[in-house]
Structure 1
Amino acid sequence: MVVLDVITQLSGVKKWLHREDFDFEQFVETNVPEESAPNSLQASPAQHFLVGFKDRNLEDEYLENLVVLSKGKFLSGYAVSLGLFILGPLVDMLQAWPLNRIDDPNVHSVIAKEAVPTFCALLVLLFGLVACAVAYETESLRRQRRVILQITGVVYLSYVVIMSIEFAMLGNQWFFLYGKEGWILKLIFFDLPPLASLLFMSLPTFLVGEIMFLAILSFSVIIPTVLGYWQSIADVARQEVLPETLTYFSEFWKQVCTDEDRPDIVKHCRVDYVYKMVLPYVLVNALMIAVVIVSALSEATNRRLFIWKKITRAQHEKVERCKKMVEVEKEKRDDFIYSMFPRPVAKELIKHGEENGKDNDHNMTIKDVALVHNLGRSMACMHKDVTILFTDIVGFTPMANACQPYEVMHFLHNLFSAFDELIEMDMHLWKVETVGDAFMVASGLGIMSGKAGREPEALVELIQSHSQTFSMDSFSSEKKLYRIKTVKCSEKNCNEFSAARAAVLFGKAAIAEARLHSMPNGKPCAIRVGAHTGDVCSGVIGTRMPRFCLFGDAVNTASRMESTSSASRLHITEATYGLVCDDPGFTFEDRGEMDVKGKGKMQTYMLM
């Protein structure tokens, strides 16, 4: 792993190994249902043999993630290795002391030669523990935690090399303590236990395999070959050496196994010797191979969990993106509704639409908002002293007959968009509707068009009225009760004078704005404007493409003022004049009493 890791990090090698750019977002979109589990993943990032994912950026991320999540395993693994390494020599000393072998010169020689390698091995394991702990706590290495894997590989490989050197330094002196075949005991009880911690440290398979391969090569091939272990077993098996020459047997068994009169017993002794010498070697190597296999299985699980974590994160991000998109669409929808209806009305529409959407178990749409039954009756409101204003384009009908429809549409769009901007400048104004070339504005409804500001106050009244029903052969009259809201503006500057003044200012500005536009036939644009102040009732009409409408005598009167006005003049009734006549910014011309269709004689005024 150490050498291979360095090689794979070379720019050329890494570029050659990088065979794909795995896209988890696309993977989530096309392959993985939300209810799938890590073990059910069929498609996943492709992997090279031994060196990980073909997406090398993903491999780097996996190793960094592995090191971060395995902090406790790494540190505890080093601690366990240190404990097992110290425990072995300690137990050896405890068993040597009661046998009075501690004062033996041969024992002293063995201890002296063991001291330096043992101390070096202890320092290596201690260095690994300290280096990993420091690497985890160092801020500058937070993005390079992969170095901990390299440190771990160097530490355990160095440990195996040091233990191998120790065997070479001891030579035949080791036989004095445990016999020529006793090296396997040292291997099992002293040298290999520190490597057992590799089982739970979650190291990459190739790193564990590299350490175990070096251990097998050193302890099972090189050392026993150099010490003549395999040669002695081969000599016994070929009957070139009698078992009595080997220290493995006690005096009793030496006599039994050298009885020339019993060749069958001698044969069994040789087989037993070979079996008992080879079996520990087989078991030790099997255990080291098992550690590699367990590591491979653990790594496979870790990689599946890592992939599933990435997929889960991609799914979460997808959900978050969808939520944001829904929120954006909801804001656009709300803004659209708020642009069509006053804020309280729009809120009621949205509320009804959301409830309808929940009942149908799907997201709310504009269609859901439209499907609101009896909404007009429930949202009916009475408004006191509202100034209604109409504008109309002079010579519109002849111009529309002479010009192309799209030219007329373009002209009206530009003109009415300019009027919309004028309305946005004053909180008292509300654009009610446009019909052909007519533009209707209400001022003083007590309903704010913007998102800011407080909600208007409302007083609910029960109004009794007669309802008449006609049929082919009968006529009936009955009393009905209507629940009506009377709206009162809660803003300090929202009063009859302010509303009327805002309407007159708009009419004056609209006349000036119209002069800046030319009709499609090339003639300058001029508008007639009429206004009146009175009581109106507002409500939402219809369930499909519902419209916010105003009804009342004030609306009809304002329309009559517009139709009897002159080009580029604002015509108002006495009710409106009484509210704004004291404003020094306005000068009015008294038109006297005039006959208004459907209204009779009315005193009117024209803005100068």
Structure 2
Amino acid sequence: IVELVKNGGKKPFRPQVERSSAPGMPHLLYIMERCLSENANHRPDTQMLMRMLRSANYGRHASIMDNMVFMLETYANNLEDLVAQRTMQLTEEKKKTDELLHRMVPPSVAEHLKCGKSVEPESFDDVTIFFSDIVGFTSLSAMSTPMQVVMLLNDLYSLFDGIISSYDVYKVETIGDAYMVASGLPIRNGNRHAGEIATMALDLLSAVSKFTIRHLPHKVLQLRIGIHSGACVAGVVGLTMPRYCLFGDTVNTASRYESTGEALRIHVSLTTITHLDELGDYKYGKRGFIEMKGIGTQTTYWLTGKSNFDKPLPRVEDVNSVLVD
């Protein structure tokens, strides 16, 4: 009978019990009819069912049916609490996993990877790329243990990571003492990319002037920065530990601007200066013509400040503590 009721169908089975076949139990027959009602509003809920059974049992509480209903209700309540607790734990773990993935690749790319979709390379017409390195890093490494070098880079780039979070930029990667950041990708931001990178560079230069090396507190750490704007292609490379990488002449040129720059200075290309002129408020000076390997002679500039940027910037004259390669 139970199996037939469970099977349902267009004409669900409902057992018919004659009242004459169950003398002395009219309450139980009534309860059964109510529970099997085709109208859900006529069916008793758990609390009402317990009261009806208790009444059918003449007020006694220790019937087998009472105990069964009570155990089922207790199990259902405990199960709801357990499911809610496990769901909360799963949500927290998913949040941690998403945060970790978003640190490795951009959020928009991460969503494609989570869905199992391939990430096609994308071309960007105009972005600005920032490169920096530590002047004299080779000499600094020679007078430090490997553990001290790791601690130094971790302290420095943790400071940088906190600063760049205030700007519309994407940290591409760090390789040794090199730090690479881009703006205008993977989310395009119109013509703001050059301004975001330029202001960020001033902010990082100001922060590093107050940075203290734990194992060499008497040494002043100094940055060499290069910035260039142009087109590039970006895409995810690899399946294990996937990397969001940038390709194109703009990347190589930005790296050249960094390597041909000087300590405490922000070396900027003409294309970036053109964007900054459109935005206004930025201060710069012409450096002159510089010969760059594989690129040729370039007209370059020094970015020196910005209107309303009140953070102290290091003086170029303070080179007595520069670590020289």
SS at match of 1:587: strand
Contact preservation (8 Å) 2:286, 2:302: yes
**Alignment-derived partner of residue 395 in structure 1:** 136
In the aligned structure 2, how far is the partner of 1:516 from the partner of 1:391? 17
Q: Which one has a larger percent helix, Structure 1 or Structure 2?
A: 1
Task: Say which of 37, 50, 61 aligns to 1:204.
Answer: 61
**Alignment-derived partner of residue 540 in structure 1:** 236
**Alignment-derived partner of residue 339 in structure 1:** 103
Alignment of 1:144-159 (within 5 A): none
**Alignment-derived partner of residue 175 in structure 2:** 435
Question: Which letter does structure 2 place at the counterpart of 1:386?
Answer: V
Q: Which one has a larger percent strand, Structure 1 or Structure 2?
A: 2
Question: Which letter does structure 1 place at the counterpart of 2:140?
Answer: M
SS at match of 2:185: coil
**Alignment-derived partner of residue 555 in structure 1:** 251
**Alignment-derived partner of residue 51 in structure 2:** 71
Percent of aligned pairs with the same amino acid: 32
Question: Which letter does structure 2 place at the counterpart of 1:530?
Answer: G
- Give the Å deviation of 1:551: 0.6
- Give the Å deviation of 1:579: 1.2
**Alignment-derived partner of residue 208 in structure 2:** 514
Contact preservation (8 Å) 1:70, 1:201: no
Contact preservation (8 Å) 2:134, 2:221: yes
Question: Which letter does structure 1 place at the counterpart of 2:102?
Answer: Y
**Alignment-derived partner of residue 588 in structure 1:** 284
Task: Say which of 422, 442, 446 aligns to 2:163.
Answer: 422
* Cα deviation code 1:148-185 (max 9, x no counterpart): xxxxxxxxxxxxxxxxxxxxxxxxxxxxxxxxxxxxxx
* Cα deviation code 1:481-513 (max 9, x no counterpart): xxxxxxxx3xxxx322x1101111111111111
TM-score by length of 2: 0.73
- Give the Å deviation of 1:402: 1.4
In the aligned structure 1, how far is the partner of 2:271 from the partner of 2:47? 83
Question: Which letter does structure 2 place at the counterpart of 1:346?
Answer: A
Contact preservation (8 Å) 2:50, 2:69: no
**Alignment-derived partner of residue 75 in structure 2:** 311
In the aligned structure 1, how far is the partner of 2:53 from the partner of 2:77? 25
**Alignment-derived partner of residue 500 in structure 1:** 194
Task: Structure 1 unaligned segments of length 5 or more: list them.
Answer: 1-65, 78-198, 206-298, 353-371, 448-488
- Give the Å deviation of 1:446: 4.9
In the aligned structure 2, how far is the partner of 1:421 from the partner of 1:384? 28
Contact preservation (8 Å) 1:402, 1:521: no
Contact preservation (8 Å) 1:539, 1:550: yes
- Give the Å deviation of 1:398: 1.4
- Residues paired across the two proteins, number: 258
Structure number with larger C-alpha Rg: 1
In the aligned structure 1, how far is the partner of 2:203 from the partner of 2:267? 14
Alignment of 1:52-451 (within 5 A): 69-72=49-52, 200-205=57-62, 299-352=63-116, 375=118, 378-427=119-168, 429-447=169-187
TM-score by length of 1: 0.40
**Alignment-derived partner of residue 253 in structure 1:** none
Contact preservation (8 Å) 2:106, 2:186: no
Structure scoring higher RCO (CA < 8 A, sep ≥ 6) equals: 2
2:297 is the counterpart of 1:601:
yes
Aligned CA distance change for structure 1 residues 584 and 426 (closer, same or farther; 3 Å): same
Aligned CA distance change for structure 1 residues 204 and 607 (closer, same or farther; 3 Å): closer
Question: Which letter does structure 1 place at the counterpart of 2:68?
Answer: R
Contact preservation (8 Å) 2:231, 2:248: yes
In the aligned structure 2, how far is the partner of 1:581 from the partner of 1:73? 85
- Give the Å deviation of 1:544: 0.5
Contact preservation (8 Å) 1:541, 1:548: yes
- Give the Å deviation of 1:351: 0.8
SS at match of 1:581: helix
SS at match of 1:575: helix
Question: Which letter does structure 2 place at the counterpart of 1:538?
Answer: A
In the aligned structure 1, how far is the partner of 2:253 from the partner of 2:113? 30
Contact preservation (8 Å) 1:530, 1:562: yes
- Give the Å deviation of 1:72: 4.1
CA RMSD of aligned residues (A): 2.2
Task: Structure 2 unaligned segments of length 5 or more: list them.
Answer: 1-45, 305-325
Contact preservation (8 Å) 1:500, 1:580: yes
SS at match of 1:521: coil
